[in-house]
Every structure is written in structure tokens, then in C-alpha cells.
Chain A
Amino acid sequence: MNLLVFAVLASAAVLAALGVILSKSAIRSALSLVLNFMLLAILYFTLHSETLGVLQVVVYTGAIMVLFLFVIMLLSTQGNINLTESRDVKKIVGGLAGISLAALIGVQIYLPLASVPAPQFHAPQPIGPSYGAPEPLGLALFTRYGYPFETVSLLLMIGIVGSIMLAKRRVR
């Protein structure tokens, strides 16, 4: 049953992801990405991490995708942006070379890794009712993971300052 639910959700998510890269209009790409994010959030719910699922919907589907759509609409004054590229022999040859290289490396990596059993470094613990709930998550973030948490905030600030600086062209 679980596997069936996973299979349905995961294949739908993959189809949505394909829609992102295959559709010719930017708006449709972005909307496919919304669908993909929503399906991922539902996958998180099926894995009992409701907090992560809610965050996925609020942060990615809500905030980031809306921003994406705004930017697309700001940039495209004449409706759809055409995202098609011209066909080229180099692309086919390059693609074939890439696939064969990936296969070559993949075989090298897969053979030793095939013997690795599913990770069992500790006995599976029963999942408590508070697993993945916001309180323990917040407590862990602000105690044990306080240093990385603050570092990520520095990273986000650099992202904001950097993008503003690159967006304004003139020296004040």
C-alpha cells in the first residue's frame, strides 16, 4: 500500500518535473514546478514529517514560486517567452558522449556500491508522536545546530545583499 502511494506520487512528481524542462512557455514551466513541489510536500506527509511538508508548501510553493511567476511576468511583456532552442548536431553528439561517459562512470561506481546493504547503523526506533513536530525541530535548531543555523542566516544575507548589488547598475 505504502509503496503504491509512493509510486503514484513519485511518478506524478517526475512527470511534473519533466513538464518543467519540456514545456515551451515559461509560465507553464513554473506552474509545473508548483505541481512538483506540492507533490513532494505530500510525499513528506506520507513519511510522517508534517513540519517539513508544511514548510515545503509555505516556503517553496508559496513564497519562492510566486516570486518566480512575478519575475516571469515582469520580464515577458509580450505574453509567452519562447524557450525553444535551434537543433544542432553538436548537441546530439555531445549528448551521446555524455550518456556514454555517465554509463562508464556509473558502472564503476555501481559495482562496488551494489554490495552495500540498506544502512543499519542503529536499530530502528519506534517513531514517537513528537517526531518531526515543530517543537523538537525548533529546539534542535537553536541548541545543537545553533552554529550551522546562524551560518545559514549569514549565507541568506549574502544572497540578498549580493543580488541587490548586482541588480543596481549605477554607482551611487
Chain B
Amino acid sequence: MYYPPVPTVDPLALGPVGILSLFGVLGLVVELLRPKGKNGTIMLISLVGLAASAIALISDFGAGTVRSFGQMELHDHLGSISELILLVVATITVLISEPYLKEKKIAFGEFYPLLLWSTAGAMIMSTSSNLLMIFLGLEVLSISLYVLCGISRSEEKSEESAAKYFLLGAFSSGFLLYGIALIFGATGHFDLLSVTSVWANGSASSHNLLLGGFGLIVVGLCFKTGMIPFHQWTPDVYQGAPTNVTAFMSAAAKVAAFAAFWRLISAFAPSLQYWLAPLSAIAVLTILGGNLLALVQTDVKRILAYSSISHAGYILVDLLAHAKDPSINYVSMEFYLLSYALMTVGAFAVLSLLAARGKEVTKLSDLNGLWKRNPIAAVALVAFMMSLVGLPPFAGFFGKVLIFSDAVKAGLVPLAAVLAVGSVISAAYYLAIAKAAFVDEPNESPVQRPATLGPQTAFVLCMIGVIAISVFISPIQSFFQR
């Protein structure tokens, strides 16, 4: 009988994912034993798990590229940085969740394990160049997110959000799988590594299979990152999902999907001539469409949903620049993702304060008078909005400058111009949010709870982060590059 070789395993590289999954299980066990309605212990376990995972990650940071588990697991710098950003996002989400869930009367203990497993899935997805593992990681991430979106069962819009996300997500997974099957047919491997050599040596027919597979996988990933025209789910899901879930989803899904997207684009860079035009069209549509559609929204969560669409477009410009000029590395993209994660999660953290006594209203006018009720939250919100526009002292500015210069360097000047135009348009709706929080007086006495320690820490940390990473931009760049 044939005995397959036992693959070598690098336990340190698997550590962060393994620790996070196990702490999720531990949280689930505690959920069974704890007194009713007390989630403090589970929250603590989640925070400890995230910290342990971060320690495991940092202890092995920059150890060079290692492939273990029969090439299924890829330990490299891009993956490690993505994992680090994901851990930061998950930690902030845990901090803002408990008071929000209590206020909405949906304080399920299973929330925290599911959040940890979702993070683990995103980490699996961003640390592999094997299409099988990328798909499995994506499913672990997404299926937890489908559940978390629908956690507020008494609200119709939460159920709508979960159902819409689930149906369209399953549909897009079909595209992804079909693409993986075509690439397997052309190369005989699941690994993206084999694509480049097959492209160089293969016949015209294998080229067709590879391009077909690439196109279908791009559709799947564009859906996950919310690119126009695959974005229809984004506003409804972001609006309907509980705000802390939206915060997590908007950042984590993008970090993981863009890590996989980066590896896909790198592997397919030799066939650039066939797909640069359609992907550029997607980038232009995403940037302009996202920003223009955000202008007419009146709900803050929907505005931020369209804003996240346009930010995905900015990052796609950087991916295309990398495909055109391989000397452009992932540092700009990861810096952008880090700054985007901090400002978006921070903005949603402030918004989560709008939930009170089981109800939640997120119209622009509901932010009115935030300045008087909670000055720190209002200042933080303004900082996030300025950063999202891309104004100088904040991280968003440097992220956009890095992508802009990458695009110019790669000769994609029209895309760089679209990026700049998009940023100018975006100023209108971001500043409208800031104005609603700072200038406008409330009409009636608003329902809003005072911030407790968790959310307060969360958005202050995000605000400090948004400023700090722009101050320490060059150490961070060299850290990312190490």
C-alpha cells in the first residue's frame, strides 16, 4: 500500500491560529458553566487568547519564508503582518462588544468564541498560497460572520443582513471554487506557486484555463472585498448587522481577502496584459461609484459601508501597481490596511454608542450633539473622518500618498488621478458626519448611553493609533519590510 510522506510541521508558524481556535473552545466551555448573563470571564478569556496569539506571532516574526504542512501553510512576512492587523482588529472589537450587546439585549456568550474563530479563519486565509487553504480559511471567516450578522434575532434588518450575506456569500464561494477547479485542471496543483511556471511553459489551452480560473477567483475575492459591481450586499449587510460585528467585518474580511488577492495577483503577474484593463475598470468603478453613492446616503452605517467600498478600490490600485512593477512590495498595502482598520473600527466603535435600551438608530441626525454628550467620542470621530478623507496629520493621508506614489511609479497615472478625485469627493460625506457630531444641535433629547470603559478605551486607542502610525511611519515601514 502507498504510504504518503508525513509532512514537516512548523509549530511556531501554526501557533497563532491554533492558540486562537483553542481559546475559542475554552470560551465556549466557560459559556456553559458561567452564571447566566455574565460574559466577563469569556471576554477575559478572549482577550488573553488574542494576547497569547500575538505573543506567539511576534516571537516568530520575520523568521523568513517557511512552508510547512506539505506547502499548505505559508509563513512569510505578508502573512505575519496581516495576522497582526487581524489580532488588533479583533481585540478592539472585543473591547467595544460587551456594553453594546448588553444594551441591545443580545449578550450571547457564544459571540466571543465565534469572533475568535472568525479571526482564526482570516489568519488561515492570509497565511497560505494554497488555494484549498485560502478557500477553507475564507469559509471559516465567512460562516462565523454570517452567524454574527444575524445575532440580533428580534431585529428584522439583522436577519435580512445575515440572510443576504449568506446567500450572496455562498453564491460567490461557488465562483471561487469553480476558479480553483480550473486552475487545478491547468496545473495539477492547488498551490499558486505552480501557476507561474505553467504559464511560462504551458500551451495556449492551459493559458485559457488559467485565465478562466483567475477571472472566477477574482470575482469571488471582489465579492468578499466589496468591489463594484459585486458590492450590492455591502450597504445592507453593514447597516443590518450589529455595529460591533460591522466594525470587525469591515476590517477583518478586507485584510484577509487582500492578502489572498495579493498572492493571486503576484502569481498571475506574467499574464498582466490580459486582465489589467478589466481590473482597472473595476478599480475606477469602485472608487468613483463608492464615493458618489455615499453622498446620497443618510444613514451613517450605510455611508461608512460605501466608504469601505471606495477604500477597497484604492487598495486594488496598489495591487495593480504591484502587478505592473513587481519591485513595489506589500508595505504600502499593509500600511493602508492598518490605517484603514484603525479608523474604520474606531468610527464604528463611536457609532456603537448610539444603541440604547434595545433600540439603535444610526441616522446622521442621531449624531447631533455628540460633542456635548461625549466630547472624547466626538473628537475621536472627527479624527477618524479626517483620516478617512486623507488629511495630513492622520494615517489615512500617508496611506493614500503611498498608494498614489506606487501607482505613479508603475505608470498607472490615470488610476492615481481617479484615486485623487475620489478622495476629494469623499471629503463631502465624511465632513458631513463630522459636522453632524460637532456643529448641529439635537432636535429632541437623544437616546444615548454614556461610554463605559471598554468602548472608551477602544476608540481612544484607535485615535492614538491613527496619529501614532503616521508619526512613526518610517519605523513601521522598515518593520513591515524586515
Q: A139-B4, A147-B72, A155-B139 are in contact. Are A161 and B133 (CB under 8 A)?
A: no
A152, A162, A169: the one contacting B114 at CB < 8 Å is A162
Min CB distance A57 to B, Å, is: 24
Are B147 and A165 in contact, CB atoms less than 8 angstroms apart? yes
Complex CA distance for A165 and B105, rounded to whole angstroms: 14
Digitize B137-166: 1 where CB-to-A-CB distance is under 8 Å, 0 elsewhere: 101100110110011011000000010000
Q: Given contacts A158-B144, A162-B144, is CB(A152)–CB(B136) below 8 Å?
A: yes
Within 8 Å by CB of B106, from A119, A122, A140, A171, lies: A171
In the docked arrangement, what's the CA distance between A87 and B106, Å? 39
B1 at the interface (CB under 8 A from A): yes
Query: Is B472 engaged at the interface, CB distance under 8 Å to the other chain?
Result: no
Per-residue A-contact encoding for B89-114, CB less than 8 Å = 1, 0 else: 00000000000000001111110011
Neighbour of A143 across the interface among B6, B108, B120, B153, CB < 8 A: B6
Known: A146-B69, A161-B113, A162-B143. A113 touches B105 (CB 8 A): no
Q: Judge whether B117 and A154 touch: CB under 8 Å.
A: yes
Contacts of A140 in B (CB 8 A): 4
In this complex, how many residues of chain B approach chain A with their Cβ under 8 Å: the count is 54
Chain B residues contacting A117 (CB-CB under 8 Å) are: 205
Does B414 count as interface, using CB distance less than 8 angstroms?
Answer: no
CA distance A143 to B153 in the complex (A): 41
Instruction: Bin the interface of chain A by size.
Output: 35 or more
In the docked arrangement, what's the CA distance between A122 and B188, Å? 9
- Given A112-B212, A171-B37, the answer on whether A121 and B188 have CB atoms closer than 8 Å is yes
Q: For the complex, what is the distance from the CA of A140 to the CA of B73, rounded to whole Å? A: 16
Interface membership of B204, Cβ < 8 A: yes
Interface residues of A in 134-151 (CB under 8 A from B): 135-136, 139-140, 143-148, 151
A-contact 0/1 string along B113-143, CB 8 Å cutoff: 1100100110010000000110011011001
Contact for B212 among A109, A128, A151, A169, CB less than 8 A? A109
| Residues of B contacting A: mostly | helix
Cα(A77)–Cα(B185), bound, Å: 49
Contact status B108-A147, CB under 8 Å: no
B28–A143 contact, CB under 8 A?
no
Question: A139 to chain B: which residues have CB within 8 Å?
Answer: 3-4
B137 touches A151 (CB 8 A): yes
Given contacts A139-B3, A161-B110, contact A154 B73 (CB under 8 A): no
Q: Do B7 and A166 touch across chains, with their CB atoms under 8 A apart?
A: no
Query: Contact partner of B154 among A109, A113, A169, CB < 8 A?
Result: A169
Docked-complex contact A151 and B136, CB < 8 angstroms: yes
> Which residue in A116, A144, A148 is a CB contact (below 8 Å) of B4?
A144
User: Shortest Cβ distance from A164 into chain B, in angstroms?
Assistant: 8
The A contact surface, by secondary structure, is helix
| Chain B residues within an 8 Å CB radius of A155 | 121, 136, 139-140, 143
Contact with B along A17-40 (1 / 0, CB 8 A): 000000000000000000000000
Minimum Cβ distance to chain B for residue A68 (Å):
18
Residue of A nearest to B215 (CB): A109
Interchain CA distance A164-B137 in the complex, whole Å: 22
Contact A159 B188 (CB under 8 A): no
Q: Are the CB atoms of B147 and A158 closer together than 8 Å?
A: yes
- Asked if A86 is at the interface (CB within 8 A of a chain B CB), the reply is no
A90 within 8 A of partner (CB): no
Contact A148 B136 (CB under 8 A): yes
Given pairs A139-B4, A158-B147, 20 additional interface contacts (CB within 8 A): A109-B212, A113-B209, A115-B205, A144-B7, A145-B70, A145-B72, A148-B132, A148-B133, A151-B136, A152-B136, A155-B121, A158-B140, A158-B144, A159-B143, A161-B113, A161-B114, A161-B147, A162-B114, A162-B144, A172-B37
The 5 closest A-B pairs by CB, nearest first: A162-B147, A116-B205, A147-B69, A121-B188, A112-B208
A residues bordering B, Cβ < 8 Å? 109, 112-113, 115-117, 119, 121-122, 128, 130, 135-136, 139-140, 143-148, 151-152, 154-155, 157-159, 161-166, 169, 171-172
What are 14 A-B interface contacts by the 8 Å CB criterion? A116-B209, A128-B2, A136-B2, A139-B3, A143-B5, A143-B6, A143-B7, A145-B72, A146-B7, A147-B69, A154-B21, A155-B136, A158-B117, A171-B108
